[in-house]
């Protein structure tokens, strides 16, 4: 039998100690995470919190009375959970209203009418009464850009560009079509169009039009912009396929008002290193159609409940865990921008940030936004502890609009985006179909547990 010298024995002992310590730590973490999941699924508050936000407050467009009430609701809700501190952060938000309900019709050459399901795009101007013009259909934004002005001038353009249904990740399909909503009115105005309509950014076939923010260019005249439902876009294409002339009659009453005072709402559990912050949250505002249940009521419920779950387990964080209910993600991101500059001015150390803004569906994992390969690898290893709880997605990607400005202020910050199953998300996104009833209670609770557990691991090991 060979002998082990003292130095070799010490090395072996140290290795075995580290292995055993790591195994013990992982077992301890697994037990703690299991308690989080059990609490979320059997004693959770997230579904009732979401019901209150959707039903007792309603849709919450920045600048509206409902947005004001959402701030008050969020403040009182965070206070009710007895976190270490709860406060409001003042911001200024844009105030746009769609006014009286939009109306639009397709008038065929034989005089027949088709009433259209339409929503003004967020930030659009109004039509100043009922307007009518010949319809021009294009199948993509690129097709419109290549057209001669003589063919577009004086017409109402329908950009009937479909979201690609042959891609696995629905947000990829959304990104491919987002420019038609953002820039359609500008490109139409360049060529003399009097208004632009777009096919709603949805993979579903239904009668719900989907709104969302759009932009103007100061060097180009402004024209009205709206979205029609996917079903209506298909009907129009079918009814006009023989190139017979048809008209769109359209009225929208949108208008802007002066910027308005609003607030981010913040709740904290203080850590041992109080000035080292882990920021997480969702956005309190929503579009004015529906109730903003998936976008982003679910993210608000996730974030509040994640902090509550950790507190309920008597967890003592190493860093300060800060839950932020951001205001004005949908049409300005004033909340995210103000928060980032505020933290920098306070000389805070922002350790990490996480956002939930992709709906309340079954959790799949997290995207990581970082340029630090060493840090990415560290979190990849850490994420392995989440796999037994049904999470499998962990890859470089997008964190979120609200936490994004932190990346401009803190060069080395690591940011995460919560990734739920997204296949049904664009059935509801920015439409009247985004209501509380379309959020599944268990799926929402599983998301809360996943976020609370990941925050726990980040706080413990970063």
Phi-psi region of 117 (alpha: psi -120 to 50; beta: other; left: phi over 0): beta
Tokens of 436: 């509380």
Sign of the dihedral through C-alpha 97, 291, 54, 214 = negative
Of the candidates 70, 89, 73, the one whose C-alpha atom is nearest the C-alpha of residue 338 is: 89
Q: Which residues contact 352 (CB under 8 A, 6 or more apart)?
A: 278, 279, 413, 414, 415, 416, 458, 462
Compute φ and ψ for 86, nearest 5 degrees: -135, 130
* Cα–Cα distance for residue pair 107/115, rounded to 1 Å: 9
Annotated catalytic residue 329? yes
Residue pair 126/224 in contact by the 8 Å Cβ criterion: yes
Instruction: Give the H/E segment covering residue 269.
Output: strand 255-269
Sign of the dihedral through C-alpha 401, 366, 71, 341 = negative
Look at strands 195-199 and 224-228 and give their pairing.
Answer: parallel
Instruction: Give the H/E segment covering residue 115.
Output: strand 113-115
Q: What number of CA atoms fall less than 13 Å from residue 112's CA on the CB side?
A: 7
Compute φ and ψ for 340, nearest 5 degrees: -65, -45
Q: Give me the sheet containing 255-269, strands edge to edge.
A: 85-97, 255-269, 319-326, 273-283, 349-355, 414-420, 363-369, 393-396
Q: Active site residue: 329, 330, 348, 445, which one?
A: 329
Q: Among all residues, which ones are annotated catalytic?
A: 329
């Amino acid at each position: 039998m060979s002998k082990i010298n003292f130095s070799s024995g010490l090395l072996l002992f140290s290795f075995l100690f580290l292995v055993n310590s790591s195994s013990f730590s992982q077992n301890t973490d697994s037990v703690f995470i299991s308690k989080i999941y059990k609490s979320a699924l059997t004693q959770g508050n997230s579904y009732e919190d979401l019901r209150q936000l959707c039903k007792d407050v309603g849709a919450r467009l920045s600048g509206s009375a409902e947005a004001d009430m959402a701030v008050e609701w969020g403040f009182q809700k965070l206070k009710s959970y007895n976190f270490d501190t709860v406060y409001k952060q003042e911001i200024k938000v844009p105030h746009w209203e769609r006014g009286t309900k939009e109306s639009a019709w397709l008038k065929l050459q034989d005089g027949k009418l088709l009433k259209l399901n339409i929503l003004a795009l967020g930030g659009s101007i109004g039509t100043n009464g009922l307007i009518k013009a010949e319809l021009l259909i294009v199948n993509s934004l690129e097709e419109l850009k290549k057209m001669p002005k003589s063919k577009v001038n004086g017409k109402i353009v329908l950009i009937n560009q479909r979201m690609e249904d042959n891609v696995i990740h629905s947000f990829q399909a959304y990104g491919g079509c987002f420019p038609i909503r953002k820039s359609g009115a500008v490109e139409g105005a360049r060529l003399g169009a009097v208004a632009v309509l777009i096919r709603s950014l949805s993979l579903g076939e239904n009668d719900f039009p989907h709104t969302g923010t759009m932009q103007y260019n100061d060097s180009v005249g402004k024209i009205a912009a709206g979205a029609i439902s996917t079903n209506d876009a298909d009907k129009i294409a079918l009814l006009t396929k023989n190139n017979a002339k048809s008209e769109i009659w359209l009225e929208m009453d949108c208008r802007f008002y002066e910027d308005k005072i609003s607030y981010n709402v913040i709740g904290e559990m203080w850590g041992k290193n109080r000035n080292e912050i882990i920021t997480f949250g969702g956005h309190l505002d929503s579009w004015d159609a529906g109730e903003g249940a998936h976008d982003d009521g679910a993210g608000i419920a996730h974030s509040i409940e994640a902090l509550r779950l950790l507190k309920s387990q008597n967890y003592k964080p190493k860093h300060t865990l800060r839950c932020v209910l951001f205001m004005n993600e949908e049409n300005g991101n004033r909340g995210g921008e103000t928060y980032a500059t505020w933290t920098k001015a306070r000389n805070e150390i922002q350790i990490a940030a996480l956002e939930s803004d992709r709906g309340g569906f079954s959790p799949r994992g997290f995207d990581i936004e970082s340029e630090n390969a060493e840090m990415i690898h560290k979190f990849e290893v850490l994420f392995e502890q989440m796999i037994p709880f049904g999470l499998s997605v962990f890859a470089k990607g997008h964190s979120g609009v609200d936490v994004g400005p932190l990346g401009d202020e803190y060069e080395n910050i690591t940011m995460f985006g919560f990734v739920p199953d997204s296949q049904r998300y664009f059935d509801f996104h920015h439409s009247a179909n985004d209501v509380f009833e379309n959020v599944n209670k268990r799926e929402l609770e599983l998301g809360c547990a996943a976020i609370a557990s990941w925050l726990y691991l980040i706080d413990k090991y970063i």
